[in-house]
Amino acid sequence: MLLVFLLLPQFFILPLFPQPSLLLCLNPTWLPIARVLAGQFSPMINGFGLANTSVALFGGYLFALGESDLPYAIKLTQNGEIITLGRHAFYSNPFLNMTAHPKIDPNTGEAFAFGYDIFPPFLTYFRINEEGIKQDD
Reported as a single tens digit per residue, the pLDDT across 96-114 is 678 889 999 999 999 999 8
Q: What pLDDT does 25 receive?
A: 53
- pLDDT by residue (tens digit) across 9-62? 545 544 444 444 554 454 556 666 676 677 766 666 666 667 778 899 988 889
Q: What pLDDT does 45 receive?
A: 64
Against a cut of 0.75, is the pTM above it? no
Q: What pLDDT does 53 receive?
A: 85
Q: Answer yes or no: is 88 a known binding residue.
A: no
Q: Three-state SS across 75-127?
A: EECCCCCEEEEEECCCCCCCCCCCCCCCEECCCCCCEEEEEECCCCCCEEEEE
Q: Which of 107, 93, 126, 106 is nearest to 56 (CA)?
A: 106
Q: Phi and psi dihedrals of 61, rounded to 5?
A: -130, 160
> CA Rg, the chain, in Å?
17
- What is the distance in angstroms between the CA of the first residue and the CA of the last residue of the chain? 38
